[in-house]
């Protein structure tokens, strides 16, 4: 059995996040005319409150964006910015060289491949589908998805026009309980 992390192990999560977030922020500034620093501060506050920088409902909770939307759904008002974000995410989310071939070779030798990513379930599944690893990874144990705003059904965020389909076809998916963290190696191979 091979047990692996995903983000920054099989692909460059930070680069994909940075490029997609930058595209989103550029679009939000362009559409709203809001001050970039003000948006960055308000977005940071939402990220801290939600405990993730991959919060699907972000633009519905940033005060300057809600104010600009003036009663309209921010997903509609900032549609072009969301599409720019998704396009950048898809363009920059790719496996490191040799990862696909090595994982498939190990799987063909009969090894089971189990992944324990630090990211939430939704975006982890999205990256698995996008990189073609649905089914190559046998079992996935992601963190639970982040909290959503009161009155918002998480399934609505997963099946709408902005997020595409949800779920994996061939990889078995189990959620880690909320608050469970995986052990990390300490210096000299000791376990924390």
Q: According to the per-residue pLDDT averaged within each range, which of 77-86, 113-122, 141-150 is highest?
A: 77-86
- Encode pLDDT of 27-78 as tens digits: 999 999 999 999 999 999 999 998 889 888 899 999 999 999 999 999 999 9
- Encode pLDDT of 97-138 as tens digits: 999 999 999 999 999 999 988 888 888 999 999 999 999 999
Say how many residues make up the chain. 192
Distances (CA, A) of 155 to 64, 76, 82, 102, 130: 26, 18, 18, 34, 20
* Residue 86: count of CB within 10 angstroms of its CB: 17
Which alpha helices (H) appear in the chain, and where do they start and end?
Answer: 13-32, 36-50, 63-69, 74-77, 79-92, 99-108, 121-131, 154-159
Q: Taking the model in full, what pTM does it have?
A: 0.80
- Residue-level pLDDT at 148: 52
Mean pLDDT of the chain: 85
- Residue-level pLDDT at 14: 95
Residue 166 pLDDT > 90: no
Residue 162 pLDDT > 90: no
Nearest to 125 by CA among 84, 154, 152, 82: 154
For residue 182, the cross-strand partners are none
Provide the 8-state DSSP code for 95. B
- Residue-level pLDDT at 192: 31
Contact 69, 77 (CB under 8 A): yes
């Amino acid at each position: 059995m091979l047990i692996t992390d995903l983000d920054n192990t099989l692909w460059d999560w930070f680069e994909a996040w940075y490029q997609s977030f930058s595209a989103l922020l550029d679009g939000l500034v362009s559409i709203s005319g809001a001050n970039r620093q003000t948006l960055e501060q308000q977005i940071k506050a939402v990220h801290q409150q939600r405990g993730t920088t991959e919060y699907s409902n972000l633009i519905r909770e940033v005060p300057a964006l809600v104010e600009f939307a003036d009663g309209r759904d921010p997903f509609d008002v900032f549609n072009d910015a969301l599409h720019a974000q998704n396009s950048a995410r898809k363009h920059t989310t790719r496996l490191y060289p040799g990862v696909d071939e090595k994982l498939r070779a190990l799987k063909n030798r009969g090894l089971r491949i189990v992944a324990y990513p630090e990211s939430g379930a939704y975006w982890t599944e999205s990256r698995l589908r996008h990189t073609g690893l649905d089914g190559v990874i046998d079992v996935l144990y992601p963190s639970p998805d982040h909290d959503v705003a009161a009155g918002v059904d998480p399934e609505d965020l997963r099946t709408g026009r902005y997020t595409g389909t949800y779920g994996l076809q061939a990889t078995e998916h189990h959620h880690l309980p909320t608050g469970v963290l995986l052990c990390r190696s300490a210096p000299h191979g000791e376990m924390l």
